[in-house]
Structure 1
């Protein structure tokens, strides 16, 4: 996996850097909050792929984060990881099991770090909007990979904003590692 150029959503920065460690990779991260504006997301992916200027550039962005992400990637020399979202990249098949238990909204440490940019700035949600939108969910699960310490104050502020119980569950990086190897070696 050495000498690769990669384009990745900033949500997975910590996990990707942990998995790739000291390997010779050139990773470009796009702003995690772009998910709320499909035009800006497409523009950023396109510009970054052009800037990388290569063939078969691995793109670590869920294939459902933008309805045309695979087409955009293919047109500009990229290949998209085979997962719907960063959550599915981490959970794999376990996601269906967790979804069957309750209506669940998922967070990663990257989402927790960026929640204000995503929901307040990007979507423009005030506290009432947040409660209306998050009110659909029975719970919020924070996927803790153990890589980034959870900022308890930030988590409490997010709970206060969303008003939905937040549970933290440990997750390993096995599924993301497998998907990453498939993408980089494919």
Structure 2
């Protein structure tokens, strides 16, 4: 990067955009953002189109992609754009850290962040239809509870989370987390990109 280069661009899923903006402000990172609708995770074709389009639109910028392994062709898309993604299986692992994420997953958690809680019925029915019996069978087949994960940037989404639990027939647990793990993931990605561009 030269002194006159535009700031780095963090391009990716909007599920944690409040948290990311907070961390950019806190750390004074020279980082622009471009967020894609988190609900696209339920449609691989739309996710692929949105991501490749955003990468093409920002061709020539130094881009870090904020996604986990959220699409089966993620690495190929990034390779074509000569960039990389943040480390982590998904945004929840980036937020919780691998150890806590793995523990909750093994206990049967289905993770629920604020943005998805607020749009849960729309997301679930767009994916699985409106047959409540089918929806509940799918979620209850290998998950034991919904885990509503809140951060210092979250609003109070308890009512939406409880409604999400009722819809899929799973009990709700809540977990408050700091932004320490997410901050570490972003710092590592920024350092890597800065090294590549220096």
Is TM > 0.5 for Structure 1 vs Structure 2? Answer: yes
User: Is 1:11 aligned to residue 24 of structure 2?
Assistant: no
Report how far residue 58 of structure 1 moved: 0.5
Trace 1:78-93 onto structure 2 (pairs within 5 A).
78-92=83-97, 93=99
> 1:20 is matched with which residue?
24
Contact 1:3 1:24 in 2 (8 A): yes
- Number of aligned positions between the proteins: 183
Aligned equivalents of 1:82 and 1:125: distance in 2? 35
String of CA shifts for 1:118-149, please: whole Å, max 9, x gaps.
21224434422321111121111111112111
> 1:98 is matched with which residue?
104
Q: Unaligned regions of 5+ residues in structure 1, if any?
A: none
Classify the secondary structure of the residue corresponding to 1:70. Answer: helix
Aligned equivalents of 1:23 and 1:116: distance in 2? 36
Aligned equivalents of 1:41 and 1:20: distance in 2? 25
Structure possessing the higher radius of gyration over alpha carbons: 2
Aligned equivalents of 1:123 and 1:185: distance in 2? 40
> 1:150 is matched with which residue?
156
TM-score, normalised on structure 1?
0.89
Contact 1:9 1:31 in 2 (8 A): yes
Aligned equivalents of 2:82 and 2:118: distance in 1? 30
> 1:68 is matched with which residue?
73
Q: What value does the CA root-mean-square deviation take over the aligned residues?
A: 1.9
Aligned equivalents of 1:84 and 1:47: distance in 2? 23
Distance 1:10 1:126, change over 3 A: farther
Contact 1:13 1:110 in 2 (8 A): no
TM-score, normalised on structure 2?
0.84
